[in-house]
Amino acid sequence: MANASNADKGIGDVKVEFRGFKKRFGSKLVHKDVSFKVRKGECLGLLGGSGAGKSVILRSMIGLEKPDEGQVLIDGVDIVPMKEQELIDVRKKVAYVFQNGALFDSMSVYENLAYPLRAHTKLTEDEIRRRIKEQLEEFGLEGNENVMPANLSGGMQKRVGLARSIILQPSVVLYDEPTAGLDPYNTIRIQEMILRLKTKGVTSVFVTHDMPSVFAVCDRIALLLEGRIQSIGTRAELETSTDSHLNRFVRGEEI
């Protein structure tokens, strides 16, 4: 396991980069100096205890949070100084998958998926219908177009939520504990969705405590500890690592 300062050497095309990210909430300096890179097409697993600051890191990638200091680069461009209008464009290419799926209760599955397409694209209703059909088929959700969210199982709601998050075909997808509370069947379906997006070159950051899913989908794993990326590396590096924090964390021990 390389330490955070030299682990990124030669990782290829960088898609997302945090540089010296510092953020304070009240008197608590949550992010002391967070720096890491995610390369194009890679899935980076981001681990850390509750309250370590993982969700804030994801939200900062779409400008929902701003650091007190530091940069957040997407495709080499710092989004920290961007105003809301520019951030709308960032959010078309960087999708954030909310933990609860965040479907609109009063709309059918079809209307939920159509909503972002109508709001953010110039696609015709015919094109929208085609895109939704393809998307539902691709993720094994076909036949649910007219179902209301309340009539879907929790696992199905999450999968539809994920399908909606990616309907604008983003190049980066941020997952905030997408498998939390899911049964093994739906967990594996979510893993498959992530892997399918990866084959299309989508870059992902995956925040979770679900280690089997991390090992199923992530290329590298980073540990956020005490306001810094304490370690980062591949699973193979992790397994041969003498990094006691990461090993202890993965084994479920206190760090």
Ligand X SMILES: Nc1ncnc2c1ncn2[C@@H]1O[C@H](COP(=O)(O)OP(=O)(O)O)[C@@H](O)[C@H]1O
Residues near Mg ion (CB under 5 A): 55
Distance of CA 252 to the CA centre of its chain: 22
Distance of CA 240 to the CA centre of its chain: 27
Question: How far is Cα 165 from Cα 234, in angstroms, rounded to an integer?
Answer: 27
Name the residue nearer to ligand X (CB basis): 50 or 242.
Answer: 50
Calculate the alpha carbon distances from 121 to 36, 82, 104, 167 in Å: 32, 22, 19, 11
Residue 157: DSSP 8-state? H
Site for ligand X in 43-62 (CB under 6 A): 48, 50-56
Calculate the alpha carbon distances from 202 to 67, 78, 116, 127 in Å: 25, 20, 19, 22
Name the residue nearer to ligand X (CB basis): 30 or 222.
Answer: 30
Whole-number minimum distance, CB 10 to Mg ion, in Å? 31
Mask 4-33, x = binds ligand X (CB under 6 A)? ---------------------x----x---
Whole-number minimum distance, CB 54 to Mg ion, in Å? 5
Query: What single letter denotes the amino acid at residue 54?
Result: K
Whole-number minimum distance, CB 75 to ligand X, in Å? 24
Name the residue nearer to ligand X (CB basis): 1 or 56.
Answer: 56
Q: Which does 227 bind (CB under 5 to 8 A by kind): ligand X, Mg ion, none?
A: none
List residues near ligand X by CB under 6 A: 25, 30, 48, 50-56
